[in-house]
Structure 1
Amino acid sequence: MISTPEIAAVVGVAGIALLILRSYNQGGSCHSKAKLHHKTVIITGGNTGIGKATAIDLAQRGARVILACRSESKGKEAVEDIIQQSGNSEVIFCPLDLASLQSVRDFADYVNEKEDRVDILLNNAGIMMCPYSKTQDGFEMQIGTNHFGHFLLTNLLLDKLKTCAPSRIINVSSLAHTMGKINFDDINSEKGYGSVAAYSQSKLANVLFTRELAKRLQGTAVTANSLHPGAVDTELQRHFSVRKFSFLNSLITPLIWLGFKTPKQGAQTSIFCAVDESLEGVSGKYFSDCREKTCAKQAYDDDVAKRLWHLSEELTGLSKKRD
């Protein structure tokens, strides 16, 4: 049984740690006044968290915003809220389930056929440290949703992005990529699963994909960059085991605001990468707190990036489509 003084000590230490984290985590704001009239932006997972906060900002700048979300009810509810907050009626919902390659293809077909342009593709949606499960196509859920789904989506929209160049692709990664390793021998974690390891692998894949994509897009005026949004209190945290225990939850929840960014704060680097004038022509970089940062050593491995690209082409069926 934990005594009252011990509980107080734990809460006190946690509070101090979170205050330190908050002072480190709150920096970085996008100060660009750029407008996006006559521009179209696609945001995956734009119905909640930093995706929704990003959508509000870009809509306020005049962009046509397409929320690419799995849940129709949540997506349409977010559309109404974003329109109300931004004053921009050019916000629409389109169904997209990144855990289904067919859904990705259907969404890309719709955009390519019905939308005149795509100027900014913001691959924001993700899942974090979930219990083991698989996508409709048999991928481990985190690598399938966070990487393979976005890999296929991006490639299927490249022609549209090229015709609208200069255009931008932004991939939301995480500092967790520093702990990541691409396990080519068990990419779907079938031989052994750790939720943190699988998440870190998927976030490293985001950075490697971005760097390889940037190389392949040289000379097209389409740029690709990745970013770490910071520690943000959003629905992405729903699988954290600490939240499953009511006792710990009652202690931790009141302290969350001290150390974590709000969704609006967490969206700043995404917004920066999408609109800031200083990034015109900048590609293959990694950002955090609205500044370029250095990736983990393994994220600079060109051989791994190429191998991951070829594997992703094969597993998503993209190579067959091109053949």
Structure 2
Amino acid sequence: MAVHGAHSSGAGVHCTLPTTLPRPHTRPPPSRPTQKERQEVQDDDPEMRHLGVSPSSPCRVRPRAAAPSPPARLQPRVTFPAASIVHARAAAGATPASPPHHRLEAVRRDHETVPESQFRLAVVTGGNRGIGLEVCRQLAVQGVTVILTARNEKRGKDAVQYLRHECNLSNVIYHPLDILDGDSVASLAKHIESRYGKLDILMQVNNAGVGGVVVDQDALRALNIDPDTWLSGKAANLLDRVVVQTYDEAVKCVNTNYYGIKWVTEGLLPLLKRSTSGARIVNTTSLRSELKRMPNEKLREELGDADAWDEKRMEAMLDEFLQALKHGRLEDEGWPTMLPAYSMSKMVVNLYTRILARRHPEMRINCVHPGFVKTEINWNTGVIPPEEGARGAVELALLPDDGPTGCYYDQTHLGVAW
């Protein structure tokens, strides 16, 4: 990671980066793809499309006779606010810290004996495609045993088969996980507890395709919005023609992007505390999370002070935001108007990351914006391949003990989000 100076992330948590970390290879800014180039990538191998693998991936899926599986049907989600959320929250955090787990002194992997002191275990949420899949691959290449999780069992298992057969990585396994289902979170925790007794890395890339809006994707592609316009926020007026903001979509977005991260973290925290190599938590965020994009000056200043916030206050703020969206008062009250639910959920993810870092100084806990990656979350309008977008997250997952914590990264560079 390349860092220019140090950055303070609020009282009590300071972002500094040792100069010993390897600097990533520099690449020229990606050129703007033509409509034809975008379509060619979309029309690539159907199985690659299913996994979200880019043409530049080190591993390519060979054509197979089987037809691609139909898209998964959207399952009913937790509503917000509702008593069911309280139940899910309690269930997600219900796994008690048990006595130290007795493990074998060595673990078998790839026909080698790996000493327990060198064995590292990672959980990656949303690991079945795109950035999440590439994070799994890069971690596995570094010798980390990876539990790839996904809600859809077939897609999760397909992703593991891809990594095993096409990338020759046998240290990746699948486990089902619905981040909004407390029983599912508890089941994953129980599996890790019984088989490994600890967790070293929690990588949360679970928000693919949850932008909080309904989009006419054909009309959006026809606009051919360039990356600079997207990233600057100047696309807001253009999006009005093709995007519909609804309360239900906003609720789903907030549930997935914030509450899902929170419940999985709470459910796996007892296992992370047992890490023998130093626990790492990496939460995926977005450029939309940067506080300079918050029109409400008073709230912007308040969000900059992590010490003044806890989950209860954050969730009360999200309640106020959702009510403003529901009643058409976003602009009047100074809330973000471009992808509002997505922006707010990511601002809260940043804040939650800083709160966790303050509470657990023995861990390295950071959030990262992967860049303008071509994925479902931006309706495949991005220009960066997943393997490049995953790089910053993987470097944060493999930080040394004196690495930064409570920080925001824009890809592999220390960013300014608050």
Q: TM-score, with normalisation over the residues of structure 2?
A: 0.53
The 5 Å alignment of 1:1-323 reads 19=31, 38-126=119-207, 127-131=210-214, 132=246, 140-165=251-276, 166-178=278-290, 179=293, 184=317, 186=319, 189-193=322-326, 196-218=339-361, 221-238=362-379, 256=381, 260-277=383-400, 280-296=402-418
Greater CA drift, 116-125 or 80-89: 80-89
Greater CA drift, 61-70 or 125-134: 125-134
* CA deviation profile, 1:273-314 (whole Å, cap 9, x unmatched): 11244x744210111231211113xxxxxxxxxxxxxxxxxx
| Aligned partner letter, 1:207 | N
CA distance in 1, matches of 2:212, 2:383: 18
Report the Cα offset of residue 18 of structure 1: 7.7
Q: TM-score, with normalisation over the residues of structure 1?
A: 0.67
| Aligned partner letter, 1:271 | V
Report the Cα offset of residue 224 of structure 1: 0.5
Q: SS where residue 163 of structure 1 aligns?
A: coil
The RMSD of aligned alpha carbons is 2.9
CA distance in 1, matches of 2:173, 2:320: 35
Distance 1:267 1:103, change over 3 A: same
CA distance in 1, matches of 2:283, 2:357: 12
CA distance in 2, matches of 1:90, 1:151: 27
Given that 1:108 and 1:153 are in contact with CA atoms closer than 8 Å, whether structure 2 keeps it comes out as no
Report the Cα offset of residue 52 of structure 1: 0.5
| Aligned partner letter, 1:189 | L
* CA deviation profile, 1:42-91 (whole Å, cap 9, x unmatched): 00001101110111111111111101111101000000011124422121
CA distance in 2, matches of 1:53, 1:45: 11
Q: Which entry has the higher C-alpha Rg, 1 or 2?
A: 2
Tell me which stretches of 4 or more aligned residues in structure 1 moved more than 6 Å: none
CA distance in 1, matches of 2:253, 2:338: 9
Distance 1:260 1:111, change over 3 A: same
Give the gaps of 5 or more residues in structure 2: 1-28, 34-116, 215-245, 300-313, 327-336
Report the Cα offset of residue 160 of structure 1: 1.1
CA distance in 1, matches of 2:318, 2:255: 16
Distance 1:187 1:94, change over 3 A: farther
Report the Cα offset of residue 210 of structure 1: 0.5
| Aligned partner letter, 1:148 | Y
Distance 1:83 1:213, change over 3 A: same
Distance 1:62 1:37, change over 3 A: farther
Given that 1:60 and 1:86 are in contact with CA atoms closer than 8 Å, whether structure 2 keeps it comes out as no
Length, aligned pairs only:
243
Q: SS where residue 367 of structure 2 aligns?
A: strand
| Aligned partner letter, 1:84 | H
CA distance in 2, matches of 1:18, 1:160: 40
Q: SS where residue 99 of structure 1 aligns?
A: coil
Report the Cα offset of residue 187 of structure 1: 5.2
Distance 1:18 1:168, change over 3 A: closer
CA distance in 2, matches of 1:42, 1:122: 6
Report the Cα offset of residue 133 of structure 1: 6.6
Distance 1:167 1:18, change over 3 A: closer
| Aligned partner letter, 1:149 | G
Q: SS where residue 157 of structure 1 aligns?
A: helix
Given that 1:59 and 1:86 are in contact with CA atoms closer than 8 Å, whether structure 2 keeps it comes out as no
Q: SS where residue 192 of structure 1 aligns?
A: helix
Distance 1:42 1:63, change over 3 A: same
More helix by share: 1
Q: SS where residue 117 of structure 1 aligns?
A: coil
Q: SS where residue 232 of structure 1 aligns?
A: coil
Given that 1:99 and 1:149 are in contact with CA atoms closer than 8 Å, whether structure 2 keeps it comes out as yes
